[in-house]
Amino acid sequence: MIIMAVDLGKARTGLALCDRGEVLASPLAVMQERDRGRLIEKICAAAKEAGAQRLVVGLPRNMDGTEGASAQSARETAALLEGAAGLPVDLWDERGTTITAHNYLNDTNTRGKKRKAVVDAVAATVILEDYLRARRAKGK
Total of domains in the chain: 1
Strands (E), the chain: 3-7, 12-18, 25-32, 54-59, 89-93
Q: What is the pLDDT of residue 6?
A: 97
Mean pLDDT of 83-101: 83
Nearest-5° angle of CA 127, CA 95, CA 117? 60
Residue scoring higher pLDDT (114 or 80): 80
Range of the domain at 11: 3-137
Q: What SS3 class is residue 28? A: strand
* Residue 85 confidence (pLDDT) above 80: yes
CATH of the domain at 56: 3.30.420.140
The whole-model pTM stands at 0.84
Chain-wide mean pLDDT for the chain? 87
Q: Which of 86, 103, 54, 73 is nearest to 13 (CA)?
A: 73
